Amino acid sequence: MKKHFFRRTFAIYFLVLLVSIIFIERYATNIVRTTYINELKESLTVQAILIADNIPLQQKDELDNLCRRFHQMTGARVSVISPEGTVIGDSHIESPVIGNHADKPEIKQAAIDGTGYSLRFSNTSRLDLLYTARKIERDGKLSAFIRLALPLEDINKSINALRIKINLAVILLLLMSGALLTWQTDRIRIYVSKVSDYAGALSHGLFRKRLYLKGAGEFSELAESLNEMAGELESTIKERNEKTNRLSVVLKSIPDALLLINTSNIIELSNNAARELFGNIHLEGQSYIEIVKSPDFASLINTVKQDRMPGSVDIVLNFPKEHYLSVRVSPLSYQVGELSGFIAIFHDTTQIKKLEKMRKDFVANVSHELKTPVTSIKGFAETLLDGALADKEHAEQFLRTISSQSDRLNRLVEDLLTLSRIEMGVIKINKKTLKLKDLIDRALKTFVVQADKKNFHLRNSIINENITINADPDRLEQILLNLLDNAIKFTESGVIEAGADHEGEHKYFYIKDTGSGIPEEYLSRVGERFFRVDPSRSRELGGTGLGLAIVKHIVLAHQWQMKVESKVGRGTIVKIFYL
Ligand code: ADP
């Protein structure tokens, strides 16, 4: 396309040049020829006038010789013609041989004007000749015509020489101007192609590139304008990109899931939280109905579409995971008065719901746990007041029950307080380097009497006295006591062992028993507040249902981990990973 344009321009220039040069050549040669002929006419006329006066018309026999002499002097063919047109003297041919000349144009014109001219091809000499005829008058009477004829061979020769010169000059000029034109059009082509390449680069977003065209006249100005334009485009696009980036960062960092839905129910934009919420799939381009599977949400969208007012609804999503969500939908309009779509923000309330449930369960559990001993204490106290005090034997038994229920109440309150203190951070963890063997020995001693009552052994499997642990001494003791208390409660015979070991690089201490064990389905719940496999048996054994919850909290406060492994009828091992 580009090349075609330049080839055409070149052809037009060349054609114009050729036509004008041909015209100049024709014009110049024509002028030269006319001038030359005119000068020749004048000179022949003068010669004819001079000869005319010296022609002895009476000596007819001498006329041919005379004519020859004049020919030698002038170089022209000289003829003397009678008024009737008969050639009576000629420098070239014997005069009687020549036919009548009365009708020759130069003779006719000379008869009228005195002098006549004619330019024509002569059959006699087979050349182009200029004829000049002059009237000879003697005594006021037409006596003859003198005619001089000169071949135009010379003029033709000099015109041809001129033409050759002009043509040579023209060819030289054509070559020079062609070369100049080629050079110039090539320069222009290079500039145009540079400009077009640059424009191409700009269209591909390479706004940093600059175009330098030195000494290229208007092209340099064009390059400067393009550079300026690129600079402006670069800053505009940079600004726009920054805005878009900022927007996308803001969108990404919004913790709530966000969907931008158009009026055809198609999701146009989503953030990371939304992708996570809906199962890590690509949401853009999908219908929201396929993604947010909630009739309540769909009806909220319809309401917002009708009312053009924001609205909210609480929904539950069951896929991919159960989620409680508080959704707010706002209408979106890019142009005034026109609904362009909706923005839906999904606030995840699952955790709040869970906490609420935990709080309710906790209150119910605490009330339930407190109710039993309080009812029992109240019942026995009333019985005593109603007269049982007098019955000494029963009164003592009742008072013992009241005392043991009070102990139970006390334990419960103590455990609850410990838990809430750890949770609220009131109990601080002051870590010290402690010898694990000593600590376990001391804890085991507390249970010696109870172990004797039942049929099992207490064993500390740590031999190395130098095994140390970095822990808060009081809290670690509490962990050991709680775990040993459970082991003893749920073991009838066998061995209760405390020790230390490691799994790969991870070190742990453990309490292991050969007791009733915990069914596998409950293992994940062990450590929840008030969770017991068998609540009534736990209560019977004096348990509050908070022992492992306390252990779990202390473990977390030390940034350790607890793992419970158990087999029903075979026993339980609780491992505390401390490194
Ligand atoms: P409890 O006061 O009932 O012992 P815990 O929180 O200490 O409360 O224990 C919760 C429940 O976990 C217990 O009721 C029991 O069912 C189970 N459990 C804990 N330790 C053991 C163990 N060593 N052997 C069998 N069951 C256990």
User: How does the average pLDDT of the chain come out, rounded?
Assistant: 90
Residues for the chain: how many in total?
579
507 and 414 within one domain: no
294 and 146 within one domain: no
- In this predicted structure, what is the pLDDT of residue 2? 55
* One-letter amino acid of 95: S
**pTM for the complete prediction?**
0.53
**Closest of 279, 281, 298 to residue 289, by C-alpha:** 298
- In this predicted structure, what is the pLDDT of residue 424? 84
Structure tokens at 10: 């070149």
Q: Which residue has the higher pLDDT, 18 or 447?
A: 447
558 and 417 within one domain: no
436 and 297 within one domain: no
417 and 304 within one domain: no
444 and 530 within one domain: yes
Q: CA-CA distance, 179 to 13, in Å (whole number)? A: 12
Query: Above 90 in pLDDT, residue 549?
Result: yes
Query: Above 60 in pLDDT, residue 369?
Result: yes
* One-letter amino acid of 11: A
Any domain includes 93: yes
Strands (E), 354-484: 432-435, 455-460, 468-471
Q: CA-CA distance, 555 to 395, in Å (whole number)? A: 44
pLDDT, average across residues 440-456: 90
CB 477 within 8 A of CB 435: no
Confidence band for 575, pLDDT divided at 50, 70 and 90: very high
Query: Lowest-confidence range among 27-36, 104-113, 369-378, 408-417?
Result: 27-36
Any domain includes 194: no
CB 352 within 8 A of CB 323: no
Any domain includes 215: no
Confidence band for 225, pLDDT divided at 50, 70 and 90: very high
CB 557 within 8 A of CB 579: no
Structure tokens at 243: 């805005």
Query: Lowest-confidence range among 90-94, 342-346, 432-436?
Result: 90-94
CATH number at residue 364: 1.10.287.130
- In this predicted structure, what is the pLDDT of residue 296? 95
Q: CA-CA distance, 462 to 497, in Å (whole number)? A: 10
Any domain includes 124: yes
* One-letter amino acid of 408: R
Query: Above 90 in pLDDT, residue 504?
Result: yes
Query: Above 80 in pLDDT, residue 4?
Result: no
Q: List, in sequence order, every residue forming a beta bridge with 493; answer none if it has no partner.
A: 455
CATH number at residue 449: 3.30.565.10
Q: CA-CA distance, 571 to 540, in Å (whole number)? A: 20
Which residues, judged by CB distance below 6 Å to any ligand atom, belong to the binding site of ligand 1?
486-487, 489-490, 513, 515-518, 526, 531-534, 538, 543-549, 572
Rg of the chain, C-alpha, whole Å:
65
Query: Above 90 in pLDDT, residue 444?
Result: yes
Confidence band for 159, pLDDT divided at 50, 70 and 90: confident
Q: Which of 158, 186, 201 is the last residue of a domain?
A: 158
Count of domains in the chain?
4
User: Ligand 1: which atom is nearest the Cα of residue 531?
Assistant: 10
Query: Above 90 in pLDDT, residue 186?
Result: no
Which three-class secondary structure state does DSSP give residue 447? coil
- In this predicted structure, what is the pLDDT of residue 6? 73
Any domain includes 199: no
* 567 alpha carbon – ligand 1 mean position (Å): 14
572 and 461 within one domain: yes
Give the largest Cα separation in the chain, rounded.
Answer: 210
* 546 alpha carbon – ligand 1 mean position (Å): 9
Query: Lowest-confidence range among 28-37, 223-232, 234-243, 566-575?
Result: 28-37
Cis peptide before 320 (omega within 30 of 0): yes
pLDDT, average across residues 223-237: 91
- Read off the pLDDT of residues 507-518 as tens digits, 9 standing for 90 and up: 999 999 999 999
User: Ligand 1: which atom is nearest the Cα of residue 537?
Assistant: 14
Q: CA-CA distance, 576 to 480, in Å (whole number)? A: 10
Any domain includes 377: yes
Structure tokens at 59: 């000596």
Which three-class secondary structure state does DSSP give residue 233? helix
Residue 546 lies in domain: 428-577
Query: Above 80 in pLDDT, residue 46?
Result: yes
pLDDT, average across residues 171-190: 84
491 and 418 within one domain: no
Confidence band for 3, pLDDT divided at 50, 70 and 90: low
360 and 337 within one domain: no
- In this predicted structure, what is the pLDDT of residue 164? 86
User: Ligand 1: which atom is nearest the Cα of residue 548?
Assistant: 6
Q: Which of 380, 407, 423 is the last residue of a domain?
A: 423
132 and 261 within one domain: no
Q: CA-CA distance, 497 to 490, in Å (whole number)? A: 14
Confidence band for 239, pLDDT divided at 50, 70 and 90: very high
Any domain includes 191: no
* 554 alpha carbon – ligand 1 mean position (Å): 17
Confidence band for 577, pLDDT divided at 50, 70 and 90: very high
* 531 alpha carbon – ligand 1 mean position (Å): 8
Any domain includes 26: yes
Q: Which residue has the higher pLDDT, 4 or 231?
A: 231
CA 546-551-554 angle, to 5 degrees, is 125
> Which residue carries 């992708």 as its tokens?
275
56 and 85 within one domain: yes
Which three-class secondary structure state does DSSP give residue 576? strand
Question: Which one of 416, 489, 511 would you pick to mutate in the ligand 1 pocket, going by the greatest count of ligand atoms within 8 A of its CB?
Answer: 489
34 and 138 within one domain: yes
**Closest of 76, 98, 71 to residue 86, by C-alpha:** 98
Which three-class secondary structure state does DSSP give residue 146? strand
- Burial classification of residue 515, based on how many CB atoms lie within 10 Å of its CB (0-12 exposed, 13-18 middle, 19 or more buried): buried
